[in-house]
Amino acid sequence: MRAIREILRQRYEFGYSIRQISRNTGVSFGAVQDLVRKAGDQGLSWPLGDELDDETLEATLYKYRQLPKGRPLPEMEEIDRDLRRRGVTLMLLWQEYKESHPGGYQYSVFCQAFRQWKKGQEPTMRQVHKAGERLFADFAGMTVPYTDPLTGGEEHAHIFVTALGASQYTFCHAFAGEDLRAWVLGHCLAFEFLGGVPEVTVPDNPKPVVIQASRYDPTLHPTFMEMAQHYGVVVSPARPGKPKDKAKVENAVLQVERQVLAPLRNRTFFSLDEVQAAIDLGVADLNGRPFQKREGSRHTLFVELDKPVLRPLPASRYDFALWKKARVSIDYHVEVERALYSVPYQFIHQEVDVRLGTTTVQVFHRGKRLATHLRAVAKGAVSTDVAHMPSAHRRYAEWTPSRIIGWAEETGPQTAELVGIIMSSRPHPEMGFRSCLGIARLGQRYGKERLEKASARSVAIGATSYRSVRSILEHGMDSLPLPSPVADQPRPLHQNIRGEAYFAREVME
């Protein structure tokens, strides 16, 4: 009100012109002219009377600020609640108000009354951000179209934006979408762009990051939390429906859309890399542009305030990983993305957490790591650690075809011959693997000497199988002399036996 009194004093006490008053007070020519006109209409003169305090003077000059008496006021709380719904406007609410109150206020006074009530209900607190404390993150609403050179179709680049609280230093990166990978990688690239890590990151409430939004205890995606732990940063999502919690990035998004993305509207791009190159130039210009109402720029403030207090980056970038739940099957393997990975057999039927990294797969049970495997590339692949097997399975797994042949040769030539016949008689050597393992177990039970004799008899009679060798040993037939070859046995004499002459005569006839 001091400006109003000073304008009236210079006008009526000194007789200054409106242009002179405007130059002396710094108030625009139109505002001074309007004020002098209103004062003349109300018959005011200088000096003002003692009864004209600031409130009365304002009410006298700006009567439109006082609501007419005797008309029904709208329910402001209900209007405020309805305005939060999608598609609801003050015009629509005023039309509904007039239907129920035909003699009510007109639209301009209706809006004025609501704004005055709103100012009294929601005072705005100026947020003071400490240097290097908070990084605000969000995706811009505007996208950048580009043409896929392979398909010729139009794609859209989604722009990830971050801004530091103290300096408003801005970072942008173009992604194909707004999924979890984009949010995680966007933060990694932002930290590298800054050359350090702030204390807190303040994202919006995107579904890929915030599984369950809450004002007090939001549930974050495990992958995003792991990324934050890797960099040692605290995640503090903005409250749902409270854009003022991330006002810095809201303003940064606005500036990026106006000063970086809008100038690209007539350009044609053929890849995300081309879009990113253009954005980098625009962001560099935005950060280096001087402020309008204070000294310096985003870049100079960043160098002066934020950069010295940012914490150092870790030795390596976070390896993006997905977390999934799985249950250990009866064969002590978990199936993830159509590949099998073993865990210790003691955890059969237990639910575990599986971390799918870029190159590795890790399995955890209640925070304890059970296994680490190289990530399978082919579907249906099986990765088994022998240490995870039961002792019986481990002993079985230790036997290979080459080891079986070596064991047979150590046992004796007859056993080696039998094993060789079994292996070679199958379409594939592994098909005779089980029979050979059974014969090896018979050797442990009956001894090498008896197994050698049983193997010789098995080969001699042409019964080269595990069951035949077991039968020979069980019935003690290995101690009997081997049968003579068929060719050495004398031909039996019998009247029905026909000799060579018989068959020769048939041929001649």
Q: Is residue 509 part of a domain?
A: no
Q: For a pLDDT cut of 90, what percent of the chain falls above it? A: 17
Q: Domain for residue 317, yes or no? A: no
Reported as a single tens digit per residue, the pLDDT across 172-209 is: 999 999 999 999 999 999 999 999 999 888 887 788 88
Is residue 70 one of the residues assigned to a domain?
no
pLDDT of residue 45 exceeding 80:
no
Residues 328 and 370 in one domain: yes
Q: Could you tell me which of 128, 172, 135, 194 has the C-alpha nearest to residue 286?
A: 172
Helix, strand, coil percentages (3-state) for the chain, rounded to 5, are 50, 15, 35
Q: Token pair of 325, please?
A: 């739940």
Q: Are 240 and 216 in contact (CB under 8 A)?
A: no
pLDDT, position 507 = 43
Q: Mean pLDDT highest for which of 48-62, 145-159, 472-486?
A: 145-159
**Could you tell me if residue 177 is inside a domain?**
yes
Give the span between the Cα atoms of 319 and 296, in whole angstroms. 37
pLDDT at 44 over 80: no
Instruction: Please indicate, yes or no, whether residues 97 and 196 belong to a single structural domain of this protein.
Output: no
pLDDT bucket at 125, cuts 50 / 70 / 90: very low
* Structural domain ending residue among the three candidates 309, 342, 361: 309
- 411 located within any domain: yes
- The chain-wide mean pLDDT, for the chain, equals 80
pTM comes to: 0.53
Of 339, 363, 391, the residue that ends a domain is 391
In a shared domain, residues 291 and 170 = yes
The reported pLDDT for the residue numbered 84 is: 59
412 in a domain, yes or no? yes
In SS3 terms, 240-297 reads as: CCCHHHHHHHHHHHHHHHHHHHHHHCCCCCCCHHHHHHHHHHHHHHHHHCECCCCCCE
More confident call, 463 vs 214: 463
- Shared domain for 284 and 140, answered yes or no, is yes
Structural domain boundaries enclosing 303: 134-309
Assign 374 to helix, strand or coil: strand
- Which is higher by pLDDT, 400 or 34? 34
Number of domains in the chain: 5
Same domain, 164 and 287: yes
106 is a domain residue: yes
Q: What is the pLDDT of residues 411-441, one digit of tens each?
A: 889 888 888 888 777 665 555 676 887 888 8
What is the reported pLDDT for 108? 84
pLDDT at 492 > cutoff 80: no
- The answer to whether position 26 is within a domain reads yes
CA distances from 298 to 101, 165, 304, 377 (A): 52, 11, 10, 45
What's the average model confidence in pLDDT over 501-509? 50
Higher per-residue pLDDT: 158 or 322: 158
Q: Are residues 170 and 248 in the same domain?
A: yes
Q: Are residues 56 and 82 in the same domain?
A: no
Last residue of a domain, one of 356, 391, 426: 391
Do 339 and 298 fall within a single domain? Answer: no
Residue 399 has pLDDT above 80, yes or no: no
Residue 94 and residue 43 share a domain = no
Residue 485 has pLDDT above 90, yes or no: no
What average pLDDT does range 364-383 have in this prediction?
87
Please check whether residues 386 and 404 belong to one and the same domain. Answer: no
Enter the DSSP assignment of 197. B
224 neighbors 337 (Cβ within 8 angstroms): no
Q: Are residues 327 and 293 in the same domain?
A: no
- Of 221 and 172, the one with more pLDDT: 172
Calculate mean pLDDT across residues 439-453.
Answer: 87
How high is the pLDDT of residue 508?
46
The Cα–Cα gap between 332 and 334 comes to 7
347 and 300 both lie in a single domain: no
